[in-house]
C-alpha cells in the first residue's frame, strides 16, 4: 500500500509519532482498509480482517499513547471492512435469514403443543419461548434455577438471568400477550415447572448440567518447551 501511495514507512512512523491530534493513525488505517477491500486479488474475508487487525495491534504496541483515543475509531473501521468483504463476493447484499418474529414463535409453539406426546415436548416449547424473549443461547438459560424466580410483596414477578457472555445481570420484561397466551413468558415458565419429571433446582430440567472445568495446576519446574 505504501508503495502505491509513494510514501515510505519511515515517513508514516514519524508522521504518526509527531501528531498531537491523533488523527493520522486512523487516517493511515483507513487507507490500509481501503487497500485491502479493493485489492486486485480480493483477499478472503478472514485474511483481510486479520491483516487489518494485526497491523492495528502492531501500531498500538508501537504507539501506546494513541490506543485510547483511536481504539473505537479503528474498531468501527474493522467492522466496516468485514461487512464489505461479506457483500463483495456476489457483488451485492448478503442474503440473510429473516429474523424469527413473534408470529413465527407462536406458530412453532402451537405446533409443538399440538403434536406433543411426552413432557419433554412441552419443555422444548417453553425453552424456545424463553430463548426468544431473552435473546440468548440455550447455554445461558442452563444457569437459570428456581431460586432465581421470586415474587415481591406487591405481586411483581422477577426472573434473574446471568448471561454467560456478558456476566451481567439483566432484567426481562414479562408483559402478557393479549392476542395469544402461548408466547406469554409466564405461561412458558409455568409449563416448564409443571412438566418436570422430578424435583430439581433447575428451572429448565431438560438442559444438561453445566459443569465448570477447573484448570489443572501447572508445575513451575516444567520447562517452557515441554509446556508448548
Residue ranges of the domains in the chain?
9-87, 102-194
pLDDT tens, N- to C-terminus, the chain (228 residues):
777 777 788 888 888 888 877 888 888 888 888 888 777 666 777 778 888 888 888 888 888 888 888 888 888 888 888 887 777 655 554 444 556 777 788 888 888 888 988 888 888 888 888 777 765 444 445 555 666 667 777 776 666 655 444 444 444 455 566 677 777 777 887 887 788 777 777 767 666 665 555 555 544 544 544 433
Closest C-alpha to 27, from 54, 62, 1? 1
CA distance 73 to 104: 38
174, 159 Cβ separation under 8 angstroms: yes
| CA-based nearest residue to 194, from 157, 186, 183 | 186
3-class state of residue 164 by DSSP: coil
Cα 146 to Cα 204: distance, rounded to the nearest angstrom:
9
Amino acid at each position: 500500500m505504501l508503495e502505491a501511495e509513494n510514501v515510505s514507512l519511515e515517513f508514516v512512523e514519524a508522521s504518526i509519532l509527531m501528531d498531537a491530534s491523533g488523527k493520522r493513525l486512523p487516517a493511515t488505517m483507513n487507507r490500509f482498509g481501503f487497500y485491502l477491500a479493493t485489492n486486485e486479488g480480493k483477499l478472503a474475508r478472514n485474511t483481510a480482517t486479520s491483516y487489518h487487525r494485526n497491523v492495528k495491534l502492531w501500531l498500538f504496541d508501537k504507539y501506546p499513547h494513541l490506543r485510547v483515543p483511536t481504539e473505537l475509531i479503528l474498531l468501527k473501521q474493522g467492522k466496516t471492512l468485514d461487512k464489505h468483504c461479506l457483500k463483495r463476493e456476489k457483488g451485492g447484499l448478503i442474503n440473510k435469514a429473516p429474523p424469527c418474529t413473534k408470529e413465527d414463535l407462536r406458530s412453532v409453539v402451537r405446533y409443538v403443543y399440538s403434536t406433543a406426546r411426552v413432557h419433554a415436548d412441552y419443555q422444548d416449547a417453553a425453552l424456545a419461548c424463553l430463548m426468544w424473549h431473552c435473546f440468548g443461547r440455550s447455554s445461558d438459560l442452563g444457569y437459570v434455577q428456581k431460586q432465581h424466580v421470586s415474587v415481591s410483596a406487591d405481586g411483581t414477578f422477577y426472573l434473574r438471568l446471568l448471561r454467560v457472555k456478558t456476566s451481567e445481570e439483566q432484567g426481562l420484561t414479562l408483559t402478557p400477550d393479549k392476542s395469544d397466551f402461548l408466547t406469554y413468558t409466564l405461561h412458558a415458565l409455568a409449563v416448564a415447572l409443571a412438566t418436570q419429571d422430578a424435583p430439581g433446582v433447575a428451572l429448565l430440567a431438560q438442559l444438561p448440567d453445566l459443569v465448570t472445568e477447573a484448570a489443572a495446576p501447572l508445575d513451575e519446574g516444567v520447562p517452557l518447551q515441554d509446556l508448548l
